[in-house]
Amino acid sequence: MDKSKLIPGRKYLHRKTHMIDNRTIKAQRWLRCEEITEDGAVFSRYFEGKIPLSNKEIEKELVEEWK
């Protein structure tokens, strides 16, 4: 996703691949954009702490906007 299209307060689908026990696991979750920074953006999810994503992670892992 293009970082310039992020809107604070909106939710975005975050898709990521993890390696667990030599297996590739695909995970996805909805994140709410809290703040756009120079190096990326800060997101939140329910009661979790702040989730910072770099510009590269935003480009690669954020896929869709939830309207």
Selection from 66, 60, 67, 64 nearest residue 17 by Cα: 60
Task: Give 25's DSSP letter.
Answer: E
pTM higher than the cut 0.85 = no
pLDDT of residue 65: 63
- pLDDT tens digits along 36-53: 999 999 999 988 889 999
- pLDDT tens digits along 2-43: 899 999 999 999 999 889 899 999 999 999 999 999 999 999
